[in-house]
Structure 1
Amino acid sequence: MNRIRTATAVVVASFSVAAWAAIESPIHKTFNVAPGGTLTLEADVGDVRVSSGGTGVTIDVKRRARSEEAMRDFVVTFDQQGNDVAVRAKYDRPSRWFNWSNDVDATFVITVPSQYNLNLSTSGGDIKIGDLLGQVRARTSGGDFDLGNIKGPVDARTSGGDMSITSVRGRLDLNTSGGDIKIGEADGPASAKTSGGSIEVHRVGGDLFAHTSGGSISIDEASGAIDASTSGGSIRARFAQQPRGDSRLATSGGGITVTIAGNVAVDVDAHTSGGDVQTDLPITILGKQSEGDLAGKINGGGPRLVLRSSGGSIKLRRM
C-alpha cells in the first residue's frame, strides 16, 4: 500500500511540474537610458531580481501559466519616458481574482545602470536587489527581501517574509508582518519593525528604532540613540562609543544585556519585575536601590539609558 501511495505522489508531483512547464511565454526588452532614472514595476505576482552595472535597462519576464487563457489574461506592458522605465504586469480578469494566482507565475530579471532608482511592487513574490547607487522603494505582499549594498535611502515592506540588507547609506525603513530582519551596516537613521520575528543589527551609525512583537533583538554596535522594544524575547545591545542621545530598551518576555565601552558615559535607569539588575561597571548610585532597580551614573553621567524588563534580569557588562 505504501509503495502505491508513493508512486501516486510521484505521478501527481510530476504532472504538476509538467503542467507549469507546458506553457511558457518569455519576454525580453531593452531600453536606452542614462544613469539617474527610475524603474517602476507593478506586478500582481512574481519574484523580482534586480542587478546593476548595465549601460541601459534590460528586462526579462519569465511567464508560466497552466492554460493559454490564463497566459493571455496576464498582460505585461512597458513604457519609457526619458530615462524612466515603467513595467505593469496585471491579470486582466478581476472576476477570477480569487484563484488567478494559482494559474500564473512570473519572474522578473532586471538589469539597470549602477546609478538608478527603484520603485518596485509585487503582490506575491520575493524581491532581491544587488548593489546599487540610488533610492529604493519596494513592496511585496508575500515574500522575502534580500538587498545588497545600497548607497541611498531604502523603504521596504513585506506582509509575509524575512528581510535582509548588507549595507545602506541613507535612511533605512524596514517593515514586515511575519519574518526576521537582519541589517548589516546602516550609516544613517534606521527603523526595523516586525510582528513575528527577531531583529539583528550589526552596526548602525544613526538613531535606531527596533520593534518586534514576537522575537529577540540583537544590536552589535550602536552610535546613536536606540529605541528597542519586544513583547516576546530578550534584548542584547553594545555601545562601543559614546551615544549621541537617550536610549530606551524594553522587553515583556526576556532579559536585557547591555555591553558598554570603558569610556562611555550614561545615566542608567534600570527596572525589572522578573529578575534582578546586575552590573560589573563602576557606577555612582543615585537614591535608594532595590533588587530589581538600579539608578546611577557611569563615568559621570550622560545621555539616559533606560532599561525595562517584565520577564528577566538586566545585566550591564564592560566591553
Structure 2
Amino acid sequence: MKNTIALSAYLVLFMVAMCAGMEKASADVQKNFNVEKGGKLIVAVGGGDIQVRVWDKMQVQMTARNIGDDADRLKTSQDGNTVRVEYRSDWGWTGSSRDLRFEFYVPKDFNVDLTTSGGDVRIDGALQGDAAMHTSGGDLTLDGVSGGVNGKTSGGDITVRDIEGVADLATAGGDIHVDHAAKDLKISTSGGDISVRTVDENLSATTSGGDMNIAKVGGNLSASTSSGDVTVGNVGGNVSLSTSGGDITLTSGKGKISANTSGGDVSITDVVGSANVSSSGGTVKVGLTPAGGQTSRISSSGGDVYLYLPTDAKVTIKADISGGEDDQIVTDFPITYKSSGDSGSRQVECTLNGGGQEIYLHTSSGNIYIKKSTASTR
C-alpha cells in the first residue's frame, strides 16, 4: 500500500514537472522599442518564420513565439532609430524550428530587412518603407505592401496579393503567383510556374522550367521560359515573349510585339503596332493592325503562317515559301501582285490600299494565308 502511494506521488510530481517544462519550452518573449518614422528593423534568425504587420503606434513590437529555453539565444538591440533582432538556434544559422515564429508590429513609414535560414517570411499591411526579404528554405508572402520590395527564396513559393511599390522577387525552386502589383514588377524562378493576374505598369517575368500565365499588364511585358507555354491576355505596351519548348498565346498588345518559340505554335489575336514573330516548328497566326511605321516579320520553319489584316490597312507585303512543292500563298484580298517561282505562287509582293508599313512573311515548309480580320479572329 505504501509503495502504491509513493508511486502515485512520484507520477504526480513527474507530470507537474513535465507540464512546467513544456510551458517553459513553449514560452513567448515580447519586447517593445520606441522609434520614429523612417527607421529600420533588421532581423536575422537561424530558423523560424517571420511575420511583419503595421500599426499606428511609433513602436516596434517583437514577439518570439515558442522560443522557451532558447530565449538566451535571442539578441535584441536598438541604435537610434534602428532595431536589430538576432537569433541563433542550437543547430547554428542553418537550423530550423517548425513552431518558432517571430512576429513584429512596425509603424507604416518604416524599413525592414528580414532574413531567416529555415522558415517563411510574410509582410501584411500598407508598409510604406522599403522591404528586403530572404529565406533559404521557405515561402515569401506580400499582402498590401506600399513600399519597394526586394525578395529572394532559395526553395519556396512567392505569393503577392497586393503591392503598391516597385518589386524584384526571385525563387530558385518554387512557383510565383501575383494577384496585383501597381508598379514595375520583376519576377523570376529557376524551377516553377508563374501566374499573374494584374500588373498596372511594366512586368519582367522569367522561369527556367515552367509555364507562364499572365492575364493583364498595363505597360510593357517581357516574359520568357525555357521549357513551357506562355499564355498572355491584354498588354497595354510593348511585348517580348519567348520559350524554347512550348506554345505562345497573346490576346492583345500595343506597340512592338516580339514572340519566338523553338518548338511550338504562336497565336496572337490583336496587335496594334508591329510584330516580329517566329516559330521553329509550329503554326504562326497573327492578327495585326499596322501602326507606328515599323516593319513586321512573321515566319515559321516548319508550319503554316496566317496573317489577319483589317480591310483598310495600308501595307506592303512580301511573302515567300522556300520549301514544299505543294505549299501555296493564299490571300482574301483583291490585290495585284508580282510573283516568281515555278508555279507563280511561291513568292509574292503585294500592295494594299496604296501601300505603307512593310510586312515580311516566310515559311520553309507550309502555306501562307493573308486573310481579312473578323470578330472571331481578332
Task: Kindly state the Cα deviation for residue 247 of structure 1 after the two structures are TM-superposed.
Answer: 2.7
CA distance in 1, matches of 2:36, 2:349: 58
* Equivalent residues in 2 for 1:303-318, closer than 5 Å: 318=377
Match of 1:213 among 223, 226, 240: 226
Match of 2:187 among 170, 174, 183: 174
Q: Is 1:273 paired with 2:262? A: no
CA distance in 2, matches of 1:53, 1:292: 68
Change (3 A) 1:226 1:296: farther
Match of 2:333 in 1: none
CA distance in 2, matches of 1:269, 1:295: 14
Change (3 A) 1:190 1:270: same
CA distance in 2, matches of 1:166, 1:252: 30
SS at match of 2:206: strand
Q: Deviations 1:45-90 (Å, cap 9, x if unpaired)?
A: 444444445534444444579xx6xx579x4434444554444344
**Identity rate, percent:** 30
Match of 2:210 in 1: 197
Match of 1:252 among 262, 268, 273: 262
Match of 1:286 in 2: 317
| Contact 1:186 1:203 survives alignment (8 Å) | yes
Higher RCO (CA 8 Å, separation ≥ 6 residues):
1
Gaps of 5+ in 2: 1-21, 109-125, 273-288, 322-326, 330-347
| Contact 1:259 1:318 survives alignment (8 Å) | yes
| Contact 1:235 1:249 survives alignment (8 Å) | yes
Match of 1:28 in 2: 30
Give TM-score scaled by structure 1 length: 0.71
SS at match of 2:219: coil
CA distance in 2, matches of 1:295, 1:220: 33
Task: Kindly state the Cα deviation for residue 91 of structure 1 after the two structures are TM-superposed.
Answer: 4.3
Give the RMSD, CA atoms, in angstroms: 4.2
Give TM-score scaled by structure 2 length: 0.61
| Contact 1:43 1:121 survives alignment (8 Å) | no
Change (3 A) 1:278 1:78: farther
Number of aligned positions between the proteins: 284
CA distance in 2, matches of 1:110, 1:314: 62
Q: Deviations 1:177-216 (Å, cap 9, x if unpaired)?
A: 1211222222332211111212222222222221111221
Q: Return the letter of the residue paired with 2:30.
A: H
CA distance in 2, matches of 1:295, 1:227: 28
Q: Deviations 1:210-249 (Å, cap 9, x if unpaired)?
A: 1111221122111222222112221111225x32xx3311
